[in-house]
């Protein structure tokens, strides 16, 4: 199953930033909203995308 990719470059940047964090901020959604000026939906998309980024990094090094 393929997930849609957001068109918003800021969402992608937020996802990459979150994927790079050794200790991600908690709670994640408010942190992403504040740091990247995202809507709740965009922050949720970024959080989900960061999980995929981490998984792909582990799989493909």
For the four alpha carbons of 33, 47, 14 and 23, in that order, the dihedral sign comes to positive
Q: What is the pTM of this model?
A: 0.84
Q: Is residue 2 over pLDDT 50?
A: no
The DSSP output letter for 21 is -
**Nearest residue to 53 (alpha-carbon basis) of 19, 21, 24:** 19
Q: What angle do CA 25, 15, 33 make, to 5 degrees?
A: 55
For the four alpha carbons of 34, 36, 37 and 42, in that order, the dihedral sign comes to negative
Each residue's pLDDT tens digit, 31-47? 999 999 999 999 999 99
Q: Is residue 5 over pLDDT 70?
A: no
**Structure-block tokens of residue 16:** 């990459």
């Amino acid at each position: 199953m393929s997930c849609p990719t957001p068109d918003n470059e800021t969402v992608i940047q937020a996802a990459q930033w979150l994927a790079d964090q050794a200790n991600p901020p908690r709670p994640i959604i408010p942190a992403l909203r504040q740091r990247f000026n995202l809507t709740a939906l965009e922050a949720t998309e970024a959080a989900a995308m960061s999980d995929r980024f981490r998984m792909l990094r582990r799989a493909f090094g």
